[in-house]
Every structure is written in C-alpha cells, then in structure tokens.
Amino acid sequence: MLDKLFENLGRSVGSTVKKGKWFYQSLFGAEEEALQAEYLVGKELAQNLIQEIPVVKDSELQIMIDNIGKALLARQPAAGRRFKLQILATSDVNAFALPGGFIFLTAGLLQRINSKDEIAFAIAHEISHVLLKHPMQRIVSDFSSQVISNIFLRGGVLGVMAKMAVMTFLKNSYSHEKELEADIEAIKLMKKCGFSPEGAKNLLNRLSDHKMKTPTLFNYLSSHPTFESRILKINSVINNKNL
C-alpha cells in the first residue's frame, strides 16, 4: 500500500519545492532559514500523505504516543524543530520521519508492539534521523545530483526533478551507516529518559520474525541493514557504561 502511495506522492508533490527556494536555503542559508525550509518541505509531504492515508482517530492512543514523544524530547534539544507524531491507518508495518520533524507510525506497526519501551525506540529512532538531518540530506543529495547545474536556470526542469527526488526519498531506505547511527542515538536517548533499551531488541526481533513470514513487505526497517547487525550494535551501546 505505502510503496504505491509513495510513488503517487512523488508525482504530485511540488508546490513547496517548485521554485527551488527551499533548496537554496537548505544549502546556503542561515541555520534559521535552513530549518524553515526543512519544515516547509516536510509539511508539504505530510499534508499530501494524510490526504491519501487517513490518520487514526484514537485519542487515547494518540495521547500515549504524544506523551512518549514529549518525554524523549524533554531530554533532547529539538534544535529549532517542531515535532509532530501521527498514526497512519494502514496495516503496513512501518515508521518514518519526514524533514522538519513530521513522524509517522503505522497502525500495523503499533499492533505488533508490546510495550511503551518498544514504542519509545521506534519514536526515538525517527527523532534521531531528523536531528541528524538525514531526511533533508537525502532530498538535497538526490535532488542536487540531478539538477545542480540547472537549478537556478530553468524552473520547469527544477519542478520535475524535485518530484523525482521526493519519490526517491520516500521509497528508498537509508544507508547502513545512517540507520545504525539513528539506532545508536535512539538507545542513548532512551537510556537518558528512563526507557529500557531492551525494548529496541524486542521490537527488532519481532519485526524480523514478521519479515520472514512476509518477505514482500514494504518496510524500511526490514531492508538495510539487517536486523541482526542492528541488534549487535544495540547490544554494544547498551553495554557501554560510558553512555
């Protein structure tokens, strides 16, 4: 469901990125301008996303998710970002962050989570991606590699390539290094906030079992790197008494 949706979103998104202002700001602007550009890109994507997949209307569940997010962010400077957590009404097992702090968990993922510690890991992992600037870096990297020489010359080409870059961002997983980096920061954040890092291992083990039963699942958590390598890295962070 989500893979097809992301492809459609890649074709439709464009109003915010159309003229390249956000791209210029993210590369050359002051930090405040770059954050604003990041927020506008994420907001545009989030609005298009929830037009295609409704959010879950469960106030009790949303309050729990929000409270966990607030607890994590209370011990982690948000660096000028405005985080927003939402739950998508889809059975796909997934979680992802858009630029600017727009974080989505799916109902399918939450149905397979057994504790608040597991939810905390999923949220902390996505918060870490945003604070490490991974979502925006990916868009800028994909986008600039295709049109950097023409970016301020022809707006029409810019708009087409921006849509292609957005589609690539939504469909592809992060590199091995970036996923492990987000895992490490998530575990450190969980420990600071009193959540058990064991929840991270429990969730990844359960998702690994789910992946074995559903090999065609579209899910960035199950592609690269492997669950086994992520769990090994998480163990090393948990056992590091200096963190």
More confident position, 156 or 65: 65
| pLDDT reading at 86 higher than 90 | yes
Per-residue pLDDT, 18:
45
Q: What's the pLDDT tens digit per position in 217-235? A: 445 454 457 888 888 889 8
Is 4's pLDDT higher than 60? yes
More confident residue, 128 or 20: 128
Confidence of residue 16 (pLDDT cuts 50, 70, 90): very low
CA distance 131 to 140: 16
Q: What is the pLDDT of residue 102?
A: 94
Instruction: Give pLDDT tens digits for 25-82.
Output: 555 567 787 788 788 778 877 777 787 789 999 999 999 999 999 999 998 877 788 9
For residue 215, whether the previous peptide bond is cis, meaning omega lies within 30 degrees of 0, is no
pLDDT-based confidence at residue 5 (cuts at 50, 70, 90): low
pLDDT reported for residue 103: 95
Binned at pLDDT 50, 70 and 90, residue 147 comes out as: very low
pLDDT at position 195: 96
Write out pLDDT tens, residues 103-124.
Answer: 999 999 999 999 999 999 999 9
Burial class of 83 by CB neighbour count within 10 A (0 to 12, 13 to 18, 19+) = buried
Measured N-to-C along each axis, helices 116-131 and 134-147 cross at an angle, to the nearest 10 degrees, of 40
Confidence category of residue 135, pLDDT binned at 50, 70, 90:
confident
pLDDT at 169: 56
